[in-house]
Amino acid sequence: MVRTTITADSPSLMRRLNTVAVLGAIRDRGPISRPGLARETGLSTPTIAHVVELLLHKGYVEEVDSSIVQGPKRPGPRAKLLSFRATLGYVIGVDTGADNSAAKLADLSGKVIAEARLPHAQPAHSNDVLNAIRAVTAEVLNEASVSADDLHAITIGTPGVVDPATGKISLAPQIDGWDGLDLAAELKDLAGCPIVIENESHLSLLAERWKGRAREAVDVIFVQLGIGIGGAILMGGKIYRGSNGAAGEIAYIATGGEDQDAPPESSVGAFEWFAGGHAYRRHGMRAAATEAGALLLKLAGGNPDAITARIVFDAAAQGDPAALEITSLLLGRLGRGLASLATTLNPELILIGGGITNAGEVVLPPIREVLERMTPYPPTLALSALGDDGTALGAVRRAMEVAEETTFSFLTVKQNQ
């Protein structure tokens, strides 16, 4: 149910809050009747009537015949339902990381109408990544025959911490030259609409709240495991960002593990080094140099430098002993790190997303075993249902919020997520 708590004394503010609530209900629940809006928002019938007339006059919603909605036919005149005019404008959500950039173009209801993905040259450099973002943005606009002038907001998900005051990125060693960038300023040529930069894990968790497995959850830890390790925290139904926007940067939590190589200074965090995607590559390369790693070497096309986490999991799925040893070791490390977080935050759910989800449910038992052994109240453990789409979908959802705040000329008052 869409409800907005009104505490202000200003009648003008109350009208605008009511309008935001009604518009959100029509967008999320429509086509919907006027009585339905009253039930969804808790607003009075006269207030609903006034707000609906305003929205119809401005062209933000339209009336449609109830015959478009499936259900039993009733005698008498057909009621007019209200539908959000989603094609008034468009938003773009972008997911950019060390290995690729992906974009989704959606209308203002969140319906995705075009998408594109472009791999990055390796190692990833900031200039190449910026150009990749421009390329995938142009591709989705071209595919849908939409002009950049029709965009109402763009949100870009990035690794690292986005400073809430300056917008600059830090702690993003996966992309050379990324630290210190003001990404919104660098990409102001994309369009004339607002461009918002967010941490990729925060956006993935937002997507889980919207379309994934956290829709009913209140306290959640989200872990994004790909080349690096990121995280996000949901507390009391709201994303917790921390004082510097760095909440969830679990790559830097302390570890008690040991490896043959010490983590490089001023680079990835200790936990990322010991349990992230590069750890699978590092251990896989070592194994491929031995007789026991023959399958790993074969899957890498005979080139040990081509080994990735996905190859290690592919070999493990075939029962390869060397790969199984690697996955058991590294998933156990991940489990210990998550057990520390679970003991501190007591979440009801831990969600794992990112590239590791391509390996499937096989990754969960070793982590679950550690959680059940080491935490007094083990949380539910699950894989993200959104796969590689999570960050881009979360970016679409955040762009929809920005569009709602700016496009409809209402005061910027957010509803509960």
CATH number, domain of 78, equals 1.10.10.10
Q: Do 235 and 351 reside in the same domain of the chain?
A: yes
For residue 222, list its beta bridge partners.
232, 351
pTM of the model: 0.84
3-state class of 65 per DSSP?
A: strand
Nearest to 24 by CA among 144, 95, 108: 108
Residues 47 and 100 placed together within one structural domain of the fold: no
For residue 206, give both structure tokens: 């937002």
Q: What average pLDDT does the structure give for the chain?
A: 88
What pLDDT, on a 0 to 100 scale, did the predictor assign at position 396?
A: 98
Find, among 328, 281, 275, 279, the residue nearest to 308 by Cα.
281
Give the pLDDT band of residue 350 (cuts 50, 70, 90).
Answer: very high
Q: pLDDT tier at 52 (50, 70, 90 boundaries)?
A: very high
Residue 180 is part of which domain span? 88-206+390-407
Do 56 and 95 have their domain in common?
no
Number of folded domains that form the chain: 3
Same structural domain, 379 and 233: yes
CATH of the domain at 112: 3.30.420.40
Contact 245, 164 (CB under 8 A): yes
Average pLDDT over residues 29-52: 93
* Domain membership flag for residue 77: yes
pLDDT in tens, 206-247: 999 999 999 999 999 999 988 788 899 999 999 999 988 899
Q: How far is CA 83 from the centre of its chain?
A: 27
- Spatial CA neighbour of 158 closest among 399, 386, 391, 401: 391
- Do 395 and 320 belong together in one domain? no
What was the pLDDT predicted at 214? 94
In a domain, 110, yes or no: yes
Task: Give the pLDDT score at 377.
Answer: 96
Cα–Cα dist 217/215, whole Å: 6
Q: How far apart are CA 88 and CA 66, in angstroms?
A: 22
Residue 231 sits in the same domain as residue 351: yes
Is 5 a domain residue? no
pLDDT bucket at 252, cuts 50 / 70 / 90? confident
Q: Is the peptide bond before 378 cis (omega within 30 degrees of 0)?
A: no
pLDDT of residue 4: 44
**Dihedral (CA of 79, 80, 82, 87) sign:** positive
Considering the domain boundaries, does residue 416 fall inside one? no
Residue 252 exposed, middle or buried by CB count within 10 Å (0-12, 13-18, 19+) = middle
CB 225, CB 354: distance < 8 Å? yes
Instruction: Specify whether 202 is located in the same domain as 286.
Output: no
| Band of residue 153 on the pLDDT scale cut at 50, 70, 90 | very high
Q: Is residue 211 part of a domain?
A: no
Same domain membership, residue 378 and residue 252 = yes
Question: Are 281 and 332 within one domain?
Answer: yes
b (16+ CB within 10 A) / e for 160-171: bbbeeeebbbbb
